[in-house]
Structure 1
Amino acid sequence: MTIDTLPPSTPAKIHSVWTWQGFPICYQAQGEAGPAVVLIHGFGASSGHWRKNLPVLATTCRVFAIDLIGFGGSAKPTPGPLEPGQKIEYTFATWGQQIADFCREVVGGPAFLVGNSIGCIAAMQAAVDAPDVALGVALINCSLRLLHDRRRAEQPWLQQVGTPLLQRLLKIRWVGQTFFHQIARSETVRKILLQAYARPDAVTDELVNLLMTPALEDGAADVFLAFTGYSQGPLPEDLLAELACPVVILWGAQDPWEPIALGRRLADFPCVQRFIPLAGVGHCPQDEAPELVNPVLQDWIADQGKLER
């Protein structure tokens, strides 16, 4: 595994590429001193979703934002059993291993892992599988995985029946590809964001382009379809029960996808130090309300350092 820089048009000290399992993985890095922090995006997003957090956190930390394999500028290989440089399985075990290896090979040691949405599950998976890489985990609107097979009995009858049928239908390649290309349009992405964000002014052209650009790359549809059919793997409570490091949870109270009432239950686990509701904010508080999120993360990371002394 090697580290290379992008072409000269991109500032080498901020945007870089790391080779993992034979695939190029993009990441950003800022900050010269302090504890290490790794920022992990949600489904369909990228390291750019942390653009409002990186420079602020970098004033006191060494901060890295990674594109999980399959997303952003990272490789989007064909789904399947691992063949380095050719195929990979899009599971939390894969992403957890990617994050753990990134900490060891790029960061150079343990880090605070900060995730949003499914990035929270990936962060916790890394911390459970490789406790040596995690100083702590911050969860921002953690995915509750409501479409998981083990959640099905809790869902309305129509959803219990309809979800697996839709998943099977999308596995038909031409159907799945058509469905993806209907979604991967600027106007559709904007509508989805306006549902997820409580503050409409945060849904900018920059944000739409940030999400749209990777979606137009070869392999993006296959990644999307592979994940929409993935109803297995860990639930957040499975991982929280095993975590050995401290956890803080932030939750946008207006999240339409991950209800805060359900999210509050995650605060019952012994590893969780605080559950912080964010009023008037939706599914991606780090982007929608960075002025609320950044100080919480900075204070929490500083507090962990004091506890270690």
Structure 2
Amino acid sequence: MTPLTFCAPSPLRNSSCLFKRQSPLICPYRNQSRFSPTSTSIKLNPFTEVATKCVQEATRPAVATTNKNAYDVHEWNFRGFTLEYAVSGVSPEIDNSAVLILVHGFGANCRHWRHNLAPLASNNFRVFALDLIGFGMGDKPIPGEKDAQGKTVEYTFDYWTEQLYTFITQVVRPKAPVFLMANSIGAMVTMQLSAQHPSLSAANVFISPSLRQLNVRKRSWLQDITAPLLMQLLAYRPLGSFFLKSLARPKQLSSVLMEAYEVYEAVDNELIDIIAKPAGTAGALEVFFGIHQL
């Protein structure tokens, strides 16, 4: 059965984790997508009244919370690499509750959903948010390195899809199809997962998805020229290193986030730290360069 799919091009105004627009400079992964909105049609088959209600509840605007215990962060092992994920509403008492999995966008991580985890869990969901490999505070293997299964590490939608599938089947281990909510490049990962394993998800919610064909079509002729040139320049190691270090500076990062966010109040010191801190971890620079070589 094809999962229900909801696509929200604009962010929920009270949600702290969502972008109002996608930048080709900040989000280079869009050219990897095998799905084109001009050629791929996802049918919205009727599911059940319960499933539809769950998705509607999940997409309500989140209420910001300052409760540091609103979610917990744990580690898990993916093919020999230690990665992080956040959970809320997970306990033996509600083991049979519906599962909602949140997948972040480019440059973010599981903590990016800080204001969403607990409110969504309050709607009787077991809520999980994982770090896609290469992002967050977990291990950042060098592109081309072999994982524990002997496969080559690649920062691509294929590799992330394999990671998400492993996370669902080995960590979450749901008793029923899960609900997936994703932003930016995370939407492309969940879309690919649902295409490859349609029985695994009950419904998908794509919020500000990174759909390259639509974005390219809206670009001006000047952007068509400058965007590829900028990406090539960033692939030059000294310049790319300078760009990454500059972007990680709180003042500079705050300016970038203010341009990207619909909810300006969400750009606080905690969010800046969530985005900037992983950029200083071991392997972050190599991951950044690996992105532009794929």
TM-score range, shorter chain: 0.5 to 0.7
Are the aligned partners of 1:25 and 1:67 in contact in 2 as well (CA < 8 Å)? yes
Are the aligned partners of 2:244 and 2:279 in contact in 1 as well (CA < 8 Å)? no
User: TM-score when scaled to structure 1?
Assistant: 0.64
Distance 1:85 1:101, change over 3 A: closer
Question: Do structure 1's residue 202 and structure 2's residue 269 form an aligned pair?
Answer: no
* More helix per residue: 1
Q: What SS does structure 2 have at the residue aligned with 1:63?
A: strand
Distance 1:218 1:147, change over 3 A: farther
Question: Do structure 1's residue 135 and structure 2's residue 202 form an aligned pair?
Answer: yes
Structure 1 residue aligned with 2:49: none
Question: Do structure 1's residue 39 and structure 2's residue 102 form an aligned pair?
Answer: yes
Distance 1:161 1:82, change over 3 A: farther
The residue type equivalent to 2:115 in the other structure is: K
1:167 Cα deviation from its structure 2 partner: 2.3
The residue type equivalent to 2:163 in the other structure is: Q
Distance 1:181 1:147, change over 3 A: farther
The residue type equivalent to 1:19 in the other structure is: N
Q: Whose RCO is larger (CA < 8 A, sep 6+)?
A: 2
Distance 1:167 1:47, change over 3 A: same
Distance in 2, matches of 1:226 and 1:102, equals 23
Distance 1:16 1:26, change over 3 A: same
Mapping 1:247-266, distance limit 5 Å: none
Distance 1:213 1:85, change over 3 A: farther
1:172 Cα deviation from its structure 2 partner: 2.4
User: TM-score when scaled to structure 2?
Assistant: 0.67
Structure 1 residue aligned with 2:77: 19
1:119 Cα deviation from its structure 2 partner: 1.2
1:147 Cα deviation from its structure 2 partner: 9.5
The count of residues paired between Structure 1 and Structure 2 equals 217
1:130 Cα deviation from its structure 2 partner: 2.0
The residue type equivalent to 2:104 in the other structure is: H
| Worse-superposed segment, 75-84 or 127-136 | 75-84
Structure 2 residue aligned with 1:106: 171
1:85 Cα deviation from its structure 2 partner: 8.6
Distance in 2, matches of 1:218 and 1:42, equals 21
Question: Do structure 1's residue 57 and structure 2's residue 120 form an aligned pair?
Answer: yes
The residue type equivalent to 2:153 in the other structure is: I
Q: Cα RMSD between the aligned structures?
A: 2.5
| Worse-superposed segment, 192-201 or 91-100 | 192-201
* 1:15-47 superposed Cα distances (whole Å, 9 cap, x missing partner): 211111111121112223211111111111111
1:228 Cα deviation from its structure 2 partner: 4.7
Q: What SS does structure 2 have at the residue aligned with 1:79?
A: coil
The residue type equivalent to 2:250 in the other structure is: S
134, 148, 152: which is aligned to 1:84? 148
Q: Which residues of structure 2 form unaligned runs of 5+?
A: 1-67
* 1:192-237 superposed Cα distances (whole Å, 9 cap, x missing partner): 111112332221111111111111112212323333555xxxxxxx
119, 122, 133: which is aligned to 2:189? 122
Are the aligned partners of 2:137 and 2:281 in contact in 1 as well (CA < 8 Å)? no
Structure 1 residue aligned with 2:19: none
The residue type equivalent to 2:179 in the other structure is: F
Q: What SS does structure 1 have at the residue aligned with 2:148?
A: coil
Question: Do structure 1's residue 96 and structure 2's residue 154 form an aligned pair?
Answer: no
Q: What SS does structure 1 have at the residue aligned with 2:133?
A: coil
Distance in 2, matches of 1:147 and 1:139, equals 15
Distance in 2, matches of 1:201 and 1:55, equals 19
Are the aligned partners of 1:18 and 1:25 in contact in 2 as well (CA < 8 Å)? yes
Structure 2 residue aligned with 1:301: none
Question: Do structure 1's residue 179 and structure 2's residue 237 form an aligned pair?
Answer: no
Distance in 2, matches of 1:219 and 1:126, equals 27
Are the aligned partners of 1:170 and 1:176 in contact in 2 as well (CA < 8 Å)? yes
Distance in 2, matches of 1:63 and 1:169, equals 39
Distance in 2, matches of 1:124 and 1:163, equals 26
Distance in 2, matches of 1:219 and 1:135, equals 36
Are the aligned partners of 1:147 and 1:163 in contact in 2 as well (CA < 8 Å)? no
The residue type equivalent to 1:177 in the other structure is: S
The residue type equivalent to 1:47 in the other structure is: C
* 1:116-174 superposed Cα distances (whole Å, 9 cap, x missing partner): 111111111111122232121111111122698xx4x7632222222222222322222
Identity of matched residues, %: 38
Q: Which residues of structure 1 form unaligned runs of 5+?
A: 1-9, 231-309
